[in-house]
Amino acid sequence: MAWLLCFMWLTGCASRGTVPSGPSPATALDSFAEQYVKLVLALGQHDPALVDAYHGPQRWADEAKHASVPLAEVGAHARALHALIESSPVPADPLVAMRRTFLLRQVGAMDARARLLQGEKLSFDEESEALYNARAPTHTEAEFARTLAELEQLLPGQGTLAERLEVFHQGFVIPPEKLRVVFQTAIDEARRRTKQHIPLPDDEAVTLEFVTGQSWGAYNWYKGHNQSVVQINTDLPITISRAIEVGAHESYPGHHVYNVLLEQHLVRERGWVEFTIYPLYSPQSLISEGSATYGPRVVFPDEAAYLREVLFPLAGLPPDRVEPYLRVEALLKKLSYVDNEAARRFLDGRFTREQASDYLIRYRLLTRPQVEKFLLNVTEERTYLINYNLGRDLVADFIERRGGTKDNPNRGWELLRELLSSPRLPGDLIDQHP
């Protein structure tokens, strides 16, 4: 009887009865959406990091905690709900059809996450496909070596390339006493520029905090009602480009704007309750992280000038060093897929921890402390890292193929706003390919 009551709460049967036969597509999707939210809340009782944001009915969160549905039963409900959505008719309205696909993919990811929590083993690529609806391409050491050769030309001197890079970066570290003013200035400017292209509610705001002891470098905690808290981890030295990355990625037009627009356009205007919750290990994360990682390119196309004229002087750094700094940073971004290769081999058991460390030092040029942070994060978040580089590339392709190029920045903003206000998922981006 206890299990039956839990299942009735999870499906919403206790308050509404079972979904009647032949409901309208909108009615069926609304029912599926409520079940999906309750499913994520139930799974979150077994997976504390899963629910990244929730601003739906507090009663549902309280009921999930009280019901404490066993993990195997949460997984069984995920599979049942997935089958229901899959058998439902595809709505004629393209946006509503996109909503149906969103629910289908998100519920499928919850099923996969439940199975993983119960001990099922998947390869790196199988797991990323199951959770994020995407697989990262493979890259060879030869590709990375070509980029490293270019860096060798920019960073001559004694010692290994990783050691020379560390010395180079020391010249661009933001002094601790300047962190708040530099980051807040970048966030404020990103906000000003974003609001010129994307209407935002008058009450939206980002609160900046500095923390320690985290595996990540920065994080956006969306609180609902157009409010975010952005935290910066100060465990390791922070170089100046991170200010622009955080200003754009975590705030404007990144995570904060994405969550604000979903709440405004899909929750408040359409009543789509599925967007009151954000499960971290789901296809939605590829859109969230991909668009946020793409954000600096959109909001700071004049990055060199802005650094030279504003942020470098503010941080007490030499403005005449902006160009060489950005040339090095551009090459380092090309090495981001080293992260995927190291994680893939480490998690698949083809690399020991020491081999992964050596690989990251050799091809990613990380310091030992950075390697430890990386491996801690990968151990906790596993395949999540593909959402950054692969997500960025898919978002860039989606926008640029549709005309949002450097020569037409207004079109780029228009497409980004459309993406951030819709239930699109990775498949919708990939389908843009001929």
pLDDT at position 432 over 70: no
Contact 291/420 with Cβ under 8 angstroms? yes
Residues 405 and 279 in one domain: yes
Question: Of 272, 266, 275, which is closest to residue 30 (Cα–Cα)?
Answer: 272
Residues 85 and 205 in one domain: no
Residues 419 and 363 in one domain: yes
The domain of 180 spans 149-430
How many whole angstroms separate alpha carbon 9 and alpha carbon 44?
A: 15
Q: Convert the pLDDT of each residue in 176-228 to its tens digit.
A: 999 999 999 999 999 999 999 999 999 999 999 999 988 788 999 999 999 99
Least confident of 9-23, 230-244, 251-265: 9-23
pLDDT at position 6 over 50: no
Contact 82/103 with Cβ under 8 angstroms? no
Cα-Cα-Cα-Cα dihedral of 147, 153, 155, 159, to 10°?
A: 90
Residues 325 and 243 in one domain: yes
* 277 three-class SS: strand
Residues 116 and 209 in one domain: no
What are the tokens at 375? 């491996």
Residues 114 and 52 in one domain: yes
Residues near 118 by Cβ (< 8 Å), separated by ≥ 6? 71, 72, 75
Residue type, 24: S
Answer whether residue 139 is part of any domain: no
Could you tell me the pLDDT band of residue 23, with boundaries at 50, 70 and 90?
low
Number of domains forming the structure of the chain: 2
Residues 204 and 55 in one domain: no
Mean pLDDT value of segment 83-97: 94
What are the CA-CA distances from residue 46 to residues 135, 275, 326, 383 (Å)? 26, 21, 43, 19
Answer whether residue 52 is part of any domain: yes
Answer whether residue 153 is part of any domain: yes
pLDDT higher at 2 or 149: 149
Residues 370 and 408 in one domain: yes
Q: What is the chain's mean pLDDT, rounded?
A: 91
DSSP state of 112: H
Answer whether residue 313 is part of any domain: yes
Answer whether residue 128 is part of any domain: no
Question: Of 291, 322, 292, which is closest to residue 308 (Cα–Cα)?
Answer: 322
What are the tokens at 399? 């926008």
Residues 299 and 185 in one domain: yes
Q: Convert the pLDDT of each residue in 271-330 to its tens digit.
A: 999 999 999 999 999 999 999 999 999 999 999 999 999 999 999 999 999 999 999 999
Give pLDDT, residue 16: 38
Could you tell me the pLDDT band of residue 157, with boundaries at 50, 70 and 90?
confident
Question: Of 18, 26, 30, 62, which is closest to residue 44 (Cα–Cα)?
Answer: 62
Contact 419/400 with Cβ under 8 angstroms? no
Could you tell me the pLDDT band of residue 431, with boundaries at 50, 70 and 90?
low
In the beta sheet, which residues pair with residue 53? Answer: 278
Could you tell me the pLDDT band of residue 10, with boundaries at 50, 70 and 90?
low
Least confident of 35-39, 55-59, 259-263, 424-428: 424-428
Residue type, 96: V
Burial 292-302, CB ≥16 within 10 A → b, else e? bbbbbbbbbee
End residue of a domain, out of 73, 99, 120:
120
Place of tokens 């160009």: 323
CB atoms under 10 Å from CB of 361, counted, come to 18
Contact 357/345 with Cβ under 8 angstroms? no
Answer whether residue 196 is part of any domain: yes
Answer whether residue 133 is part of any domain: no
Place of tokens 């009151």: 276
Residues near 321 by Cβ (< 8 Å), separated by ≥ 6? 171, 172, 312
DSSP state of 248: I
Give pLDDT, residue 313: 97
Work out the percent of the chain whose per-residue pLDDT is above 70. Answer: 93
Could you tell me the pLDDT band of residue 14, with boundaries at 50, 70 and 90?
very low
Place of tokens 């920019």: 154
Residues 169 and 276 in one domain: yes
How many whole angstroms separate alpha carbon 185 and alpha carbon 203?
A: 19
Mean pLDDT value of segment 85-114: 96
Residues 41 and 180 in one domain: no
How many whole angstroms separate alpha carbon 253 and alpha carbon 395?
A: 13
Q: Convert the pLDDT of each residue in 370-386 to its tens digit.
A: 999 899 999 999 999 99
| pTM metric for this prediction | 0.90
Could you tell me the pLDDT band of residue 12, with boundaries at 50, 70 and 90?
low
pLDDT at position 434 over 70: no
Contact 167/237 with Cβ under 8 angstroms? no
Contact 385/379 with Cβ under 8 angstroms? no
Work out the percent of the chain whose per-residue pLDDT is above 90. Answer: 85
Residues 321 and 392 in one domain: yes
How many whole angstroms separate alpha carbon 434 and alpha carbon 430?
A: 9
Answer whether residue 140 is part of any domain: no
DSSP state of 47: -
